[in-house]
Structures are given as structure tokens and as C-alpha cells.
Amino acid sequence: MTNLFPTVQVLQHSDHKVELQLGINPEIAYFDGHFPQAPVLAGVTQLHWVVEYCKQHFSQLAEVVSVEVLKFQVMIRPHDSLTLLLELNGESTTQFSYFKQQQKVASGRLKWALKGDA
């Protein structure tokens, strides 16, 4: 079976805020070919994880409408341990930040369509 996600531990969970501890396993398939001599986790993968975890923890969210203020500041490598903070602001906006040892490594904001919206 292909490994596409990190190991996850929920550190904090409320209606509007989720904090996850992520263990970045070197076996994650997204490292294959990106790059063989110095593997890094692509930004598109980081964004994909945010979308999936937001859908898991904020059940009213359906699909991403837009991505705003997206920043990738520090490379994520195999064996890194990260904290992912997801915050629901209002009904349909989430902010996310990845941290490695209290240093922000990536962040952004997602606007969502809600379940049941036409």
C-alpha cells in the first residue's frame, strides 16, 4: 500500500481550532523523485494535506474555492516532526500554519464552499 500521509497525532481539537503533530516518514510516496539526492516535500503536497485535514476536522467544509497568502518558507524533509495548526475563521475560511520546532515553515488561507451550498 502506498504511503501518502504522515503519522498524525491530534494535540488539540475544538470547533474552530485543530493542532496536529505530523511525523514525516521518508517512505511517503511524494518524496519519490523530488529530489533523489536531497528529498523535500513539495508545496502542493503540503497544501493537499491541509485540505484533507480541514475536511476531516471541520465537517461543514466541502471544496476549496480559493487559496490566498500562500507562503513556503522552509523546506520539509524526511524525518521532520511538524506541527500543523488549522483555524476556522468565520464559517468558510481556514488559516493554516506548519511549524518545525516553533519556526513557521509554511502558511496560507483557504476559502471554502460549504456542504449544502448550491
Give the residue extent of every domain in the chain.
7-114
Which value, in Å, is the radius of gyration of the alpha carbons in the chain?
14
Report the C-alpha gap between 93 and 78 in whole angstroms: 30
Supply the pLDDT for residue 51. Answer: 98
Mean pLDDT of the region 33-61: 94
pLDDT digits (tens, 9 = 90+) for 3-32: 999 999 999 999 999 999 999 999 999 998
pTM equals 0.95
CATH entry 3.10.129.10 includes domain 7-114: yes
Own/partner pairs for 35-40, CB < 8 Å, 24+ apart? 38/77, 39/77, 39/78, 40/75, 40/76, 40/77
pLDDT digits (tens, 9 = 90+) for 64-104: 999 999 999 999 999 999 999 999 999 999 999 999 999 99
Does the pLDDT at position 118 exceed 60?
Answer: no
